[in-house]
Structures are given as C-alpha cells and as structure tokens.
C-alpha cells in the first residue's frame, strides 16, 4: 500500500518518501510551494481513505526549510498542522536551517551513556581487554555515527571537531591514555581513522550505490549534475559541495587497490655493486626523467630529513622527529613521484638505496605506514594511467653514484633544519619513539592484556643478501575506506564496484 502512495501523480518538485509506515512529503522548486503542498496532502488523504488508512494529524508536523513560517496552516483531514523548527525523523533531528546542531547534541547524549558503560568495563572487577573495548566501541558507539553519515557530511569544520571528541574520549578509555595524548598517536594504536574521514568514505560509497541503481530518480540526477560541475557552481549548497569533495578526493576511477594483484607483474633484476652499479645508475634513458632519493636520520637528536635530486633540481623536507629510516625513505619516493606527475617524459626512473622501502611497496596487505605506502601506489597508478612507465631501482649507497651522494647531502641538510615541513604519522612498529606515553607503557604503567604492543622485530626487515630490483607498479589504495568495503567509480559516475577487503583496519 505504501508503494501506491509513493506512486501518486504529484506535481513537479514533489516527492513522497516512505520507510515502513513513516511518510515524508518534500516539496521544492519554484512557484507557490504552500499550495503545491496542500494539493499533495489532499491527494494523499484521498488515497489513504481508498486504502482504508488514516493519517495521524496529531503526530504530523510541517516545516519550512530556510524560510519563515507562513501565517496560514496546512490541513490534513480538516485538522491544522503545527509548524515546527525541528523534527525527529527516523532517528535524525532535522532543523529548518539544516545546520544539524540538534542532531550533534542528540548524538552526544546518546554516545555519552554508552561511553559510561565502556568506562565501567575497564574497572578491575570487569577485566576486559583492549580487543573487547574496541569491539564495543565500533559496534555500540561508532555505529551511531555511521548511521548519521548523510547528515554529518554537511557539518561545519567546528562541528566536525566537536564530533571527533567522541572518538578521542573512547580511545583514551581503550588505551587508558592521559588527556594530553595526541589524537594521531591514539588513532595509530587503536587502528581507527578520524570520524570525518570515515563519514566521507561512507558517503562516497552511498553515492556509488545511487549511481548503480537501475531506477533513475531525482537524487541520481541531482548527484550526477553535482559530480560533473565544479563546487563554485553549487550555489553554496554545503551538502552537495562536501559530497562532491568527498567523492572526488577518495575515489579513483579505474584503479585497482594494492590489496589486489597488480595487472602488470613485477620484474626483478640483480644489480651488482661497484663499477657496474655506478654505470647503470648514471645511464640516462631516452625521453626519461631520473630521480635520486635519500633520507637522513640522526640517532642522537632524532632529527630526520628526506630529499630527491633530478637534473638541476634539488628538493628536501624536514620530516617529523624520530621518524624511522623507512618512513623518511618513503617520503622521498612519494615527493619524487609527485614531482614527476607534472612532467611529460615517457619514463620515470627513481633510484633509491632503501631495500625496505621497495619491500614495503610490494606487500599485498600493508599493516604499517599505510598512508605513505598507498599514496606512493596511488601516484604510480596515476602515472600509469597517463601511459607513462615508472621504474624503481635499488642501488647500493655510498658507492660513488653522484646522484645518490647529492641526495644524501640534501637530506642531511634538511634534517638540520629548525622547523618540520612534512609531518609523518607515527609508525605502529617503532618501539623507540621517545614520547612520554610510550615511555610510561614501556615501564609497565598503563599496560594490560590485549593492549597493542610493538613487536621486537619488523616483518619488513630485509635479508642481508637482498638483490637490487626494478619494479613496475600499477596499484593504488583508497586508504581509510568505508567499513569492510572499498568503492571505486568511473569518471562518469555510472558504475561502481565494491571490494570486501581493505588494507586499513577501521
């Protein structure tokens, strides 16, 4: 019967939404919307009488969106409907200004009660482990945010920061961390992404689902138009602007994630040190751009830097203190590829002396330094989509290769810089970062069964006889994807596929 009501011949700009026995009549467009709404209500009332249904006028409310309430009332079955400024529909508070401030306050009250239960679970007589607390948060607390993702995508930056406080409090409870703990560090230790990023990923998947629908409706046409226009053409519509930004920034058209097998198999060549390696590294291929990357880590003061050299160009970055050598080497490769995307050579050759960096890029399921790894793979895929070939080549360090020596000098100079110019997320497998939080845990304070502990050795530690390699990659990761799903969409937005695996544990 609800399908018959939804299929009524309404005027243009009038849509009846139905979920079980809850109906929502939406009227927009030009003209006298009040008269159009009243005619639609009369049509619905007549059809309900034919079907033997009755509309509850006492529970029905009317709301003007971003406009003043009119003096007259809408009527259902002869009963006037009261105008309201906010209304709870399907568990979401809608307000006339579409600011969703009431929904944020409502969610804060609901989550606070569940976070109190979570805190009670950490008492000595309860004895729950970290895995149980994390599971409780994901299923009982964060699920409320996931449900409201279509609303939260339109929040202002200030409201988004307030929303992140909910997850920060939960992470402090899970880790028994002090209030001064960094949110970035807690996210790494709990393997959780920021709620803002998660909302964007969920909405990107929702958009793909709308485009895949066989039935073309108003939402599909509206989203299709918004995706093909620039945000300056959306007339300040915050919801459509954020949807467009989330979709274009998180979804890469025609890209295979790095957790799947690459379309082009990797090739490995053994390179010998000495004169052969020097000659090979100094050979310049025709129509190619050659980069030398290197990194510097000072074990005494923890200063780190990364740099690359190409032709007469030398660029360097002062990375975060106490970064691992692997992280700084990946940063150098990342910026070299970013620089290469703005050039036109058919072949891009990157020489690096980091064996562990090349090994990290070949992992099918990266567990550490996910953002760095997937960003590099994304750049490789972008270059491959341009019809360009990328070759990553391992060379021995300090064997007289001029480009490698120049990159090494530039990286050391960058490490001595006073200000950090490239912030790198902390590594999950770096047990020696001298922070107060990790020092307290290493001494036994705050540690309990189930807490994430860094392993004594890393899974990417290379063997001593690991040969040099030349690798062709064509994969990219949609990092920080929606729950247990990833989504990719064509440029036209008409098709999308989902994958059941993801390199990021959310």
pLDDT at 463: 41
Instruction: Please name every residue paired with 487 in a beta bridge, in sequence order, or none if there are none.
Output: 498
Are 179 and 463 a contacting pair, CB within 8 Å?
A: no
Q: What is the pTM of this model?
A: 0.50
Give the residue-averaged pLDDT of 350-365: 87
Residue that wins the pLDDT comparison between 503 and 168: 168
Please say if the pLDDT value at position 79 is more than 50: yes
CA 98 to chain centre: 24
Q: Read off the pLDDT band of 97 (50, 70, 90).
A: confident
Tens of pLDDT, residue by residue over 98-147, are: 888 888 889 889 999 999 999 888 887 777 888 899 999 999 999 999 99
Q: Which two tokens stand for residue 426?
A: 């902390």
Higher pLDDT, 216 or 386: 386
> Could you write out the DSSP letters of every residue in 26-81?
EE-SSS-HHHHHHHHHHHHHHHHHHHT----TTT--B--TTSPPPSS--EETTEEP
Residue-wise pLDDT tens digits, 454-501: 444 433 334 434 333 333 333 233 333 333 333 333 333 333 333 333
pLDDT at 249: 66
pLDDT, residue 283, reads 52
- Please report the pLDDT score of residue 505 as a whole number: 38
Whether 324 and 430 have beta carbons less than 8 Å apart is answered as: yes
Confidence at 413, pLDDT banded by 50, 70, 90: very high
According to DSSP H, which parts of 418-504 are helical? 436-442
Chain-wide mean pLDDT for the chain?
Answer: 76
Of 402, 390, 377, 398, nearest in space to 470 by CA: 390
Tens of pLDDT, residues 422-448: 888 887 766 544 443 344 334 443 444
Task: Spell out the residues 6+ positions from residue 19 whose beta carbon is closer than 8 angstroms to its own.
Answer: 90
The answer to whether 324 and 366 are in contact (CB under 8 A) is no
Q: What would the pLDDT profile of 385-412 be if each residue is shown by its tens digit?
A: 888 889 888 888 777 778 888 999 999 9
Rounded to the nearest 5 degrees, what angle is found at the Cα of 464, between the Cα atoms of 458 and 469? 95
Per-residue model confidence (pLDDT) at position 318: 93
Q: Which of 17-26, 126-135, 296-305, 453-462 has the highest mean predicted lDDT (pLDDT)?
A: 296-305
Max avg pLDDT among 128-132, 188-192, 334-338, 489-493: 334-338
459 vs 25, more confident? 25
């Amino acid at each position: 019967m609800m399908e018959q009501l939804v299929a009524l011949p309404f005027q243009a700009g009038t849509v009846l939404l139905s979920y079980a026995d809850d109906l929502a009549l939406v009227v927009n467009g030009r003209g006298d919307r009040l008269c159009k709404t009243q005619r639609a209500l009369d049509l619905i009332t007549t059809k309900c009488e034919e079907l033997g249904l009755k509309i509850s006028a006492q529970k029905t409310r009317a709301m003007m969106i971003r406009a003043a309430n009119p003096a007259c009332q809408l009527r259902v079955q002869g009963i006037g409907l009261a105008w309201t400024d906010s209304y709870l529909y399907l568990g979401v508070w809608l307000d006339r200004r579409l600011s969703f401030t009431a929904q944020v306050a409502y969610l804060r009250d609901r989550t606070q009660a569940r976070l109190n239960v979570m805190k009670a679970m950490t008492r000595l007589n309860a004895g729950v482990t970290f895995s149980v607390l994390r599971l409780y948060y994901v299923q009982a607390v964060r699920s409320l945010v996931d449900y409201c993702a279509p609303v939260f995508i339109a929040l202002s930056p200030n409201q988004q920061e307030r929303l992140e406080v909910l997850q920060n409090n939960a992470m402090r409870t899970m880790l028994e961390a002090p209030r001064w703990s960094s949110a970035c560090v807690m996210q790494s230790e709990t393997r959780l992404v920021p709620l803002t990023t998660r909302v964007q990923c969920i909405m990107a998947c929702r958009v793909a689902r709308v485009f895949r629908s066989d039935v073309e409706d108003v939402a599909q046409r509206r989203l299709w138009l918004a995706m093909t226009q620039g945000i300056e053409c959306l007339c300040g519509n915050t919801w459509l602007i954020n949807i467009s930004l989330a979709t274009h920034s998180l979804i890469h058209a025609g890209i295979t994630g790095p957790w799947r097998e690459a379309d082009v198999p990797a090739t490995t060549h053994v390179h010998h040190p000495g004169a052969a390696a020097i000659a090979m590294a100094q050979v310049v291929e025709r129509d190619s751009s050659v980069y030398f990357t290197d990194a510097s880590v000072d074990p005494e003061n923890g200063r780190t830097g990364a740099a690359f050299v190409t032709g007469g160009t030398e660029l360097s970055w002062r990375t975060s203190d106490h970064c691992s050598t692997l992280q700084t080497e990946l940063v150098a490769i990342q910026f070299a590829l970013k620089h290469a995307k703005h050039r036109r050579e058919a072949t891009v050759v990157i020489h690096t002396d980091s064996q562990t960096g090349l090994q990290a890029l070949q992992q099918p399921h990266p567990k550490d330094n996910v953002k760095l790894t997937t960003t590099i793979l994304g750049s490789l895929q972008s270059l491959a989509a341009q019809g360009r070939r990328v070759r990553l080549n391992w060379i021995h360090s300090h064997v007289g290769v001029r480009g490698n020596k120049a990159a090494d000098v530039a990286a050391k100079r960058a490490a001595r810089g006073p200000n950090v110019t490239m912030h790198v997320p902390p590594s999950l497998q770096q047990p020696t970062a001298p922070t107060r939080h990790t020092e307290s845990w290493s001494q036994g304070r705050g540690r309990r069964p189930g807490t994430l502990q860094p392993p004594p050795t890393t899974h990417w530690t290379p063997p001593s006889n690991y040969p040099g390699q030349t690798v062709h990659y064509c994969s990219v990761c949609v990092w920080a994807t929606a729950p247990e799903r990833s989504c990719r969409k064509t440029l036209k937005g008409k098709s999308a596929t989902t994958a059941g695996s993801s390199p990021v544990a959310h």
